[in-house]
Structure 1
Amino acid sequence: MIAVVTVLLAFPLGYLLRSHLAANVAYAIAYLWAFTFQTLYLTLSMLGGDDSAFSKNEFPISYGLVAAGIFGIGFGLVALGHRVGSRRTTRQAVS
């Protein structure tokens, strides 16, 4: 779910919003909502006996690392979208 939010929202937010800070905050809010929902879903599945995400006996450090990596990639996509969007507005202003 967090990967879907990142792919669908990060670049468009950077592209469409003028403020880089506003785009980063909007992405962070959407990502963190999805992260909370996903973590709750996986935790409830684990408590129900499904060990496919992470087991009961170990701390899921790999889950946290992957989630942090996706979060960082999303900020990179926001920055890329902002750069492409600012070039578009610069070209229109010159023309």
Structure 2
Amino acid sequence: MIAIITVLSAFPLGYLVRSRLAANTTYAVAYLWAFTFQTLYLILDVINDSTDPAFDKQKFPWAYGLVTVSIFAAGFGLVALGHYVRDRRTGRGRHPVGVAA
């Protein structure tokens, strides 16, 4: 779920929202909502003793944490990429020193 939110929202937010702060905050709120929902869903699966739980009750799920943090960081990269693409398309990108705009 968090990967879907990241792929569907991060780049478009960077491209469409002018303010970097607003785009990053909106992405973070959407991601964190999905993260909370997904984590609750997976924990309830473990608590209810399902036949194939997502986590082992005896070990802390470090791998889950690393993957989710990586997806979160990749989303911020996609927001930045969206801003970069929009700036290049509109001609507002930075020009090298000595080159006329």
Q: Provide the TM-score with structure 1 as the length reference.
A: 0.91
CA RMSD in angstroms, aligned pairs only: 1.1
Larger Rg: 1 or 2? 2
Which residue number corresponds to residue 44 of structure 1? 44
Per the TM alignment, residue 90 of structure 1 is displaced from its structure 2 partner at its CA by 2.2
Classify the secondary structure of the residue corresponding to 1:18: coil
The Cα of 1:88 is off from its aligned counterpart by 2.1
Q: Distance in 1 between matches of 2:46 and 2:36?
A: 15
Superimposed CA distance per residue, residues 51-86 of structure 1 (whole angstroms, 9 cap, x where no aligned partner): 431111110111000000000000000000011112
Supply the AA of the counterpart residue of 2:86: G
Q: Does 1:26 align with 2:15?
A: no
More RCO (CA 8 Å, sep 6+)? 1
**Cross-structure match for 1:56:** 57
Identity between Structure 1 and Structure 2 (%): 67
2:87 aligned partner, one-letter code = S
Q: 5+ residue gaps in structure 1?
A: none
Structure 2 unmatched ranges of 5 or more = 93-101
Aligned residues: 91
**Structure 2 match to 1:75:** 76
Q: Please state which structure has a larger fraction of its residues in helix.
A: 1
What is the match of residue 12 of structure 1?
Answer: 12
Distance of 2:7 and 2:39 partners within structure 1? 19
- Give the structure 1 partner of residue 98 of structure 2: none
